[in-house]
Chain A
Amino acid sequence: MAGTLRRIRPFRNIYAKIAAIPMVLTTMVVFVGGTLWTVTYSFTNSKLLPKLNFVGLDQYERLWSNSLWLTSIQNLMIFGVLSLVLTMGLGFLLAVLMDQKIRYEDTFRTVMLYPFALSFIVTGLVWQWILNPDLGIQHVVRGLGFPAFEFDPLSNPDTVLYGLLIAGLWQGTGFVMCIMLAGLRGIDEDIWKAARVDGIPTWKTYAVIIVPMMRPVFITTLVLVASGIIKLYDLVVAQTSGGPGNASQVPAMYVYRYMFTAQNLGQGFAASTMMLLSVLIVLIPWAYLEFGGKKRG
């Protein structure tokens, strides 16, 4: 009667455990391991090859006294804030317009979303061409009889970021619009009926009722867009190559330069660790809001 045939636990569902090996390796070795590795080596003076020769915060001191890095950070901040506010704002506005029971909704959506299917390289190159001062928009408008017309953002260090912004918005706003539109469609029809019965004007219904209800959608979109902005790389490479001069450098380019061309790994690791830190600044409050209060159950 006694003697239970209790199997040894680790061998139960053995195939499921084998199947999970890629996921376990990816999370533990690449994501966690890789991050810890880079953070650790950011405290070394590794040059061409990674060496565990700790030099404390030297790399970070050098990083924050490097004007190229400071420019990169400043650019990212300006571009980031503008791009975040504008993609979110315009995306929501477009979603509201699309939500007015319009005709040809699918056509409009297709038109607004197609740039999102294109790579940043394509986006950057086509806008580089359109903004070309000698043959692009500036040239065309001047040809129309406005010889003093100036529109050459990419050649001027003070305006190059706006040139990038035009391309960035073109690529990303459609995506935000789609998510916001899905959020709007997710709102119960009865809310609208109730607001109409109460005689609340449409704009006020959006402002007072719908926007607060869409808080989770806004937050998720914000996190997605923000973490995308921090990774910003391809667009700049294609559209301006960081120029004119170093006026449109961004952190991701700095990391690439020090890791793979300037052969100063420690500096690249320190810079990428700072990038991680900036993502955590975005991510931790979000994770706290999203998963904090309500523990699983």
Chain B
Amino acid sequence: MTATSISVRDLTLNFGAVSVLKTLNLDVAEGEFIVLLGPSGCGKSTLLNCLAGLLDITDGEIWIKGQNVTWAEPSERGIGMVFQSYALYPQMTVRGNLSFGLKNARMPQAEIDKRVARAAEILQIGPLLDRKPGALSGGQRQRVAIGRALVRDVDVFLFDEPLSNLDAKLRSELRVEIKRLHSRLNNTMVYVTHDQIEALTLADRIAVMRGGIIQQLDAPQVIYNKPANLFVAGFIGSPSMNFLHGATVDGGNAFELNGVKLSLEGYEGGAVGARAKAVLGLRPEHLEIVGAAEPGRTIPAVVELDEPMGADSLVWLQAAGAQMSVRVPVERRLARGAEVHLRVDMTKASVFDAGTEERV
């Protein structure tokens, strides 16, 4: 069990009458990479700003490295922060940007030079040190922005959508670089994004947020395979999960919709009980198109459309009154109107209560 690096306790934040964060609790272990993920307006960036001390909270406490920093200034919290727009000071050179915080802390010049040199070496921005931010490319700017957090020599890094302003190619390059940086420095990182690929690839644990509340906090694989509720299930995964609205019958052993019955044998959630309204969630890659019906294991379907996506292809079908998508190898072409059957891998499925929207 590693020590706790950041501890958020009953954090509440109101803007006037609007409640933005609602008694939120979060513990981050030392060296852990936490991603705050959610749609815009879910409070993820707000939470990060609270951690940084850039927003005064309404209630609760924030502890960093065993210190109560709830009312400490941002610079006193032992954090470094990287912003979406890079936020480099345009009138200063890269060197000036990196050393500005250290100068404010009245650090001796020799130490500043040493730290700047180290950061430049790690991020490979040595040749850029005497340039102004305006003369750098987007990727270089973001490296400098990371460098600014790096020179502070702190244990906690806060990232606020750092890659959103970059194009797709640079984004994946820098994503790898951030991951490499984390494994090299092994410090605590809190990373805000709305991009699930970034979340799934970078995170030790993902906190999926909506409406100022953490919906699920878990390892990426758990979030992906066992979403805690309908929102998480629908938000994670692209193309998104198929939802079938029906009922659980036979004492919770089967799922029924529009007269089609599927056996819940193998479902990892255990006994689900009989529910008049339930939702069965199936990811497109956990379905298989087969020719013949297998009672209790397949759903009859009609092919509507297929979308080749390069490596594989997405087939849209009409199945038992619902529209569903299935991922198939790209070589497999299906004619429009073809009548097929979808075999369900029940071990990977999720069942939700339609009322509470929680997983059962």
Contacts and interface: CB of A to CB of B under 8 A. Distances in A.
Q: Do chains A and B touch in the complex (CB under 8 A)?
A: yes
Interface of A: 4-7, 12
Contacts of B71: 4-7, 12
13 contacts: A4-B61, A4-B68, A4-B70, A4-B71, A5-B68, A5-B70, A5-B71, A5-B72, A6-B70, A6-B71, A7-B71, A12-B56, A12-B71
Interface in B54-82: 56, 61, 68, 70-72
A11 to B, nearest CB: 10
Nearest to A296: B16
A7 B68 CA distance: 12
Contacts of B70: 4-6
Contacts of B61: 4
Contacts of A7: 71
A12 B55 CA distance: 12
A76 B39 CA distance: 58
Nearest to A1: B68
Nearest to B17: A297
A4 B61 CA distance: 8
Contacts of A4: 61, 68, 70-71
B49 to A, nearest CB: 16
Q: Kindly name the residue among A5, A6, A12 whose own CB sees the greatest number of chain B CB atoms within 10 A.
A: A5
Interface residues of B, number: 6
Question: Would you call the interface of chain B mostly helix, strand, loop, or mixed?
Answer: loop
Contacts of B68: 4-5
Given A5-B72, A7-B71, 11 more contacts: A4-B61, A4-B68, A4-B70, A4-B71, A5-B68, A5-B70, A5-B71, A6-B70, A6-B71, A12-B56, A12-B71
Nearest to A13: B56
Nearest to B67: A5
A7 B69 CA distance: 11
A6 B68 CA distance: 9
Interface string B29-71: 0000000000000000000000000001000010000001011
B312 to A, nearest CB: 40
Nearest to B63: A1
A61 B343 CA distance: 94
A5 B71 CA distance: 7
A6 B58 CA distance: 12
A101 to B, nearest CB: 33
Nearest to B9: A1
A4 B56 CA distance: 14
A91 B83 CA distance: 46
A65 B68 CA distance: 72
Interface in B70-109: 70-72
A12 B56 CA distance: 10
A149 B70 CA distance: 84
Nearest to A7: B71
A6 B61 CA distance: 10
Nearest to A6: B71
B291 to A, nearest CB: 53
Contacts of B72: 5
A247 to B, nearest CB: 56
B91 to A, nearest CB: 22
Of all A-B residue pairs in the complex, the 9 with the closest CB atoms, nearest first, are A7-B71, A6-B71, A5-B68, A5-B71, A4-B68, A4-B70, A4-B61, A6-B70, A5-B70
B17 to A, nearest CB: 10
A6 B71 CA distance: 6
Contacts of B56: 12
Interface string B174-204: 0000000000000000000000000000000
B18 to A, nearest CB: 9
B12 to A, nearest CB: 14
A7 B56 CA distance: 12
A133 to B, nearest CB: 60
A4 B72 CA distance: 11
A6 B56 CA distance: 11
A245 to B, nearest CB: 59
Nearest to B70: A4
Contacts of A5: 68, 70-72
A259 B72 CA distance: 55
Contacts of A6: 70-71
Nearest to B18: A297
Nearest to A3: B68
B16 to A, nearest CB: 9
A7 B57 CA distance: 13
A186 B68 CA distance: 51
A5 B56 CA distance: 14
Nearest to B56: A12
A12 to B, nearest CB: 7
Contacts of A12: 56, 71
B82 to A, nearest CB: 25
Q: Kindly name the residue among B56, B70, B71, B72 whose own CB sees the greatest number of chain A CB atoms within 10 A.
A: B71
A5 B76 CA distance: 14
Nearest to B73: A12
B44 to A, nearest CB: 21
Nearest to B69: A5
A120 B276 CA distance: 82
B243 to A, nearest CB: 34
A8 to B, nearest CB: 10
B129 to A, nearest CB: 32
Interface in B228-244: none
A156 B206 CA distance: 84
A211 B56 CA distance: 45
A243 to B, nearest CB: 57
A7 B53 CA distance: 14
